[in-house]
Amino acid sequence: MTANVDKPATGKRAKRKGDRRYRLYFRLMDACLLFLFVGLIDQAAEWVGLHDAWGGLHDKHGSHPAWYVALGAVTLIFNFLVAPFLILASFMRDEYAQQLWQRTVGLLVKVVTFFPMIVLAFGIVTQLATGSRRLPAILAPLLETATWVTAMTIGWLVFCLLFVVIFQFLRWWDSR
If DSSP codes are grouped into helix, strand and coil, which group holds residue 94? coil
Confidence (pLDDT) at 139: 66
Q: Once rounded to an integer, what is the mean pLDDT over residues 92-103?
A: 96
pLDDT greater at residue 55 or residue 136: 136
pLDDT greater at residue 63 or residue 78: 78
Confidence (pLDDT) at 28: 97
Q: How confident is the model at residue 75 (pLDDT cuts 50, 70, 90)?
A: very high
* Distance separating alpha carbons of residues 163 and 175, to the nearest angstrom: 18
Torsion 135-139-144-148 (CA) sign: negative
Cβ neighbour number for residue 36 with a 10 Å cutoff: 21
Could you report the per-residue pLDDT of 105-156, keeping only the tens digit for each?
999 999 999 988 888 888 788 888 888 777 666 666 666 666 778 778 888 8
Torsion 33-115-151-139 (CA) sign: negative
* Distance separating alpha carbons of residues 25 and 83, to the nearest angstrom: 10
Q: Does pLDDT of 15 surpass 80?
A: no
pTM of the prediction? 0.75
